[in-house]
Every structure is written in C-alpha cells, then in structure tokens.
Amino acid sequence: MDFKQQRSEMVERQLRRRGIHDPRVLAAMGALPRENFLPPSERASSYVDDPVSIGYGQTISQPYITALMVECLELKGGEKVLEVGAGCGYHAAVLASLASEVISIEYVPELAEIARANLEAAGLSHKVRVICGDGSTGYEAEAPYDAISVAAGAPEVPEVLLAQLKDPGRLVIPVGSRDEQELLVISREHGKDRTRVATYCRFVPLRGREGWV
C-alpha cells in the first residue's frame, strides 16, 4: 500500500480542509508514518477517518482529533508536555515533534511496552518517556507542565491535573459521559483559567483514581 500517498491525502482532506491550520502540526503529521504505530492486522486502516483498535480495549484516535488536540495546545517547541494515555505511542510522537519533552503515562502495561518500542523505532525515545501508571492523577514527579493532553474521556476535569499545569499553560481533555464528551481546552494565564469547547467527541473511558470506576 502507498502509505506516503495516503498520509498526504489525510493531511489535505481530513486536517487542512477541516480547519487545522498550524503548519507545524500539519508538517508533523505529514511526516510521521502512522502505520508504524498500529498493530500489523490494522495497518491497512492507518489513514481512515475513524478511530482504530490497537488492542486491550483501546483505540488510536482518528487523525483529525489528534491534530485538533495538538493544535489546541499551541506548542512552540520548548515545552514539557504531560500525556495521559500513551496507547500505541502515536500521539506522543506528534507531541514530541512539536515540543522538547513528553512524559506519557499509560494504564495498560502491555500498551506501555508497545508505545516504548514504537517510539524507539521512530527515533523519538530521547524525547518521550513512557511510564506505566495511573495517568488520571498526572505525574507529580515531573510537574509542572506547560501543556497536558488527555486521550481518554473523564467524568470531570481532575483537580490533580490542574494542579500540575503551569501558568501560562494549556490542558486539553474530553469530559462528559462514558459515551459522549466535549473536548475542553483550559487555558491558564495570570492565575485565571478559561475553558472553551473545541468539539464534541467520543473517547474510551479514563481509567484510574480520577476516572471511571
């Protein structure tokens, strides 16, 4: 399959035409071989406009959602980013292409190992540290963070994550029911948090102490 052509078409049709304009985000997703992060059985679906199963009851988000979440963080290149939900490592790879350091927390041990292997193969292991643990409580040891990206639906915004966000800083998180959420963008500046809804979405449930039981 011509994955390079599919990737180019994904950037044009799924991202640019839907309003993703940050040239750094478009360039990063146009360069990263998404197919290398998926299980072999799912690689034919690498550039479909839908989430794709990565095993263990988890999915990789559709490309547009990945691009939107990253664009909302407004990364400039020097940030330390916390990612909740490493999955197969693709989202962390996009973040690492745009920031200086990524701490990625994965609840499922098997996926944490897969993410580490995928990121090492992509040459990004020096910029991304994958930790197996409860990402719903963040990672206090490396806090605070310039940006936090949560790739699982939460019942509410965990206060513990807000406590680990710098000022200024941005947190992107899907919040709502188990089946439907709003993708919230929380921007902190001068001690004040402002929240807006970027889109409506559907993520797998956030697991852990601050997630769903």
Hey, which residues are catalytic here?
61
Q: What share of the chain is helix, strand, coil (3-state, %, to 5)?
A: 35, 30, 35
Nearest 5°: the CA angle 107, 43, 35 is 75
Give Cβ neighbours of residue 160 (< 8 Å, ≥ 6 apart): 136, 137, 138, 210
In the chain the first and final C-alpha atoms are separated, in Å, by: 41
Q: Which two tokens stand for residue 191?
A: 């001690």
Non-local (6+) Cβ contacts of 167 within 8 A are 188, 189, 190, 191
* Rounded (5°) CA angle 134-84-51: 120
Count Cβ atoms within 10 A of the Cβ of residue 57 and give its class: 0-12 exposed, 13-18 middle, 19 or more buried.
Answer: exposed
| Token couple for 204 | 């797998």
